[in-house]
Structure 1
Amino acid sequence: MGLTSKEVLGLAVLAAVLLFVGTVWLWPRLARRGWRAVCGRVGLLLATQLAIFAAVGLAANQAFGFYASWSDLFGMEKDQGVVVDHAAGGPLRVADTRRVPGAGSGRPQVSGAIQEVGIVGRTTRIATPAYVYLPPEYFQPQYRTRRFPVAVVLTGYPGTASALVEKLRYPRTALELAREGRMEPMILVMLRPTVAPPRDTECVDVPGGPQTESFFARDLPDAVRAHYRVAREPRGWGIVGNSTGGYCALKIALHHPGVYAAGAGLSAYYKAPIDPTTGDLFHGDKERENRADLFWYLKHMPAADTSLLVSSSRTGESNYKDTLRFIDRVKATGLTRISSIILESGGHNFNTWRREIPGTLQWISERLTADR
């Protein structure tokens, strides 16, 4: 049974309940002196607490999508980072097609479709799974010649791509907004920035390691263009993310305005951290390290002709002051455009991002155009 399955969570909850009831029932028998009684009490308390901790941890993982599998949890996902072989069918291969959760009709012409795909970078040799949302119009005859705008959507770290579909509801939200006339039909390419698990590369081209920034700036757009009817020009491409994905989205939009016309960072930070999950990202390369600091980049590099959106909360988000400072720094460039979503309160969690996603999708739709 998988880490995120309801059966595993149900068993954990059941074990916690049974151990709690057993502790209450057996406590009088163990309330005597002697090493056996003491060991019995300690054992029951320890087992009950572990069961409760496991149940709470599994429930939190299902709610927030931290880990997708047991191997992901224990850091054993190491075979998917870099591949030598290129897929014979091209850089993007479709593994499965499914309906949009909560969209009603299963017909793609009515409710769109979600395709589970595998992407292989032709230059970086990075391989990663992703989900692609295709709007209903993609399947309708009157739109057969249209090349649709694209938003690349990134999770945080460690995150799972499926959380973008099931927890953050990007496809369902995009479908509803388009039906209401609040955004244009758009293709969403949803994946996590952790393309070399379990390492958190912070979308950096690591010297001698994964070339993550190049993958998102070059290989991913090329693979999507080769397989789908999507916009060819930068004016049809945007990138969105939350937390780590938000930092990546802002950085890639700033570094590569010739690829992405807009970038949105929800609850983003503005400088790549160095910690046990990232390892040494720069290997003494000060230029790379500076470029990964968005405040440094805005001050020292030429202004990028792109549009940015940032979000935070006055209460609940640790990035609030940095976000205000980032807005001021972008405004000072005179060329890069900046917008923001500032909530009165909201923590660093899915509920906060679900409140920001409709406005974010509407914002990015207004800045992208389809090839007609």
Structure 2
Amino acid sequence: VAALALLVNYYFGFYGSWDDLLGADTGTAEITAAGAAAGLRVLDSRAVPGGRIEEVTVPGASTRLSEEAYVFLPSAYVKQPRRRFPAILALTGYPGDPRNLMTRLDLPGRLAHAIALHQVGPAILVMMRPSVVLPRDTECVDVPHGPQALTYFATDVRQAVIAHYRVATGRDSWGVLGGSTGGYCALKIVMTRPDAFSAAVSLSGYYKTIVDGTTGDLFGGDRALADRNDLMWRLARLPPPPVDVLVTSSRKGEAGYLPTERFLDAVRPPMRASSLILPSGGHNFSTWNRELPQALPWLVQQLADQRPEGSPAR
């Protein structure tokens, strides 16, 4: 039982240390008002193969939320100082640890490898978790009288990254990738904000907000708000957005296979949907690692960068 508990904690990050688990960690920290910082703040920076990773905090100018993130800057970011790069917002599942996007999925390494093979051009990764007010699961919803999670990721994070880094500003230069809850968020962000994002990858994501003990009341009794967060409802009732999405699942071992097929059947132009369906696989990192060699390059290939006039084409 103890071994199983350790394994669960390792995957989901419930406790940061034994002292945390046993209640012996009594250290305190300075109170910081969310959004008080003028902009994105870099806490650490280190070289990695193919570029650099910066640990940052991203304050929300409009939502007053603040979250940690890890930003991968490809080596071209330093070598081409006049160029603006496309960006991908990468989200974990719930509760999530953004470091898993590096240690468990190796997104920076995969992207650097694809760039080195000339499969894709250089792009920036912004790696985060979607859980902005842990332990609550907000499902990337703008909660009435509560955390505005969707606005934080779709507006505040995007604006903060553009203000701090040389990131292309057009909608066709921004994409979202996520797994599980992060996959649902990725689809919802791109479908609700096609003015700011043009493409998304959902790894084993779902299509309707989960409401349970971890979420609490996300909609305040507002049925219309619940409908707008239901991606199948959006496809049936609203004009399709001009975006490209890739959804993944497995015929055996994934509860979301049939909902994924229904989602694909419901997509209409100008929205375009592609799929990556494995014969078998679970709802886990192992399955996503089998999908990412195709899914990550696909997403980067949908995005455009901004080069100075006279720069050679990729």
On whether the aligned pair clears a TM of 0.5, the verdict is yes
Q: What secondary structure sits across from 2:196 in the alignment?
A: coil
Would you say 1:319 and 2:256 are equivalent positions?
A: yes
Which residue does 1:252 correspond to in 2? Answer: 189
Residue 86 of structure 1: which of 26, 35, 38 is its match?
35
Count the aligned residue pairs: 302
Query: Could you say which structure has the greater relative contact order, defined with CA pairs below 8 angstroms and 6 or more residues apart?
Result: 2
Pairwise CA distance, 1:83 = 6.6
Q: Deviations over 1:213-239 (max 9, x none)?
A: 001111010000000000110110000
The runs of 5 or more residues in structure 1 that have no matched partner are: 1-52, 104-110
Structure of greater Rg: 1
Does the 8 A contact of 1:161 with 1:192 survive in 2? yes
Which residue does 2:266 correspond to in 1? Answer: 329
Q: Deviations over 1:187-206 (max 9, x none)?
A: 00000000111100000000
CA 74–316 in structure 1, closer or farther in 2 if over 3 Å, else same: farther
Pairwise CA distance, 1:151 = 0.3
Which residue does 1:299 correspond to in 2? Answer: 236
Would you say 1:131 and 2:131 are equivalent positions?
A: no
Which residue does 2:310 correspond to in 1? Answer: none
**By percentage of residues, which structure has more strand?**
2
The runs of 5 or more residues in structure 2 that have no matched partner are: 308-314
Pairwise CA distance, 1:86 = 3.4
Does the 8 A contact of 1:154 with 1:190 survive in 2? yes
Pairwise CA distance, 1:157 = 0.5
Does the 8 A contact of 1:183 with 1:361 survive in 2? no
Pairwise CA distance, 1:65 = 4.1
Does the 8 A contact of 2:242 with 2:269 survive in 1? no
CA 72–285 in structure 1, closer or farther in 2 if over 3 Å, else same: farther
The 5-angstrom pairing of residues 1-372 of structure 1 reads: 53-62=1-10, 64-67=11-14, 69-70=16-17, 84=33, 86-88=35-37, 90-100=38-48, 103=49, 111-140=50-79, 143-330=80-267, 333-372=268-307
- When normalised by structure 2's length, the TM-score is 0.91
Q: Deviations over 1:322-359 (max 9, x none)?
A: 000100001xx221010111001110010101111121
Q: Deviations over 1:13-53 (max 9, x none)?
A: xxxxxxxxxxxxxxxxxxxxxxxxxxxxxxxxxxxxxxxx2
- When normalised by structure 1's length, the TM-score is 0.78
Pairwise CA distance, 1:55 = 2.5
Pairwise CA distance, 1:170 = 0.4
Give the CA RMSD over aligned residues.
Answer: 2.1
**By percentage of residues, which structure has more helix?**
1
Specify the code of the residue in structure 2 equivalent to 1:132. Answer: V
Identical amino acids, percent of aligned pairs: 47
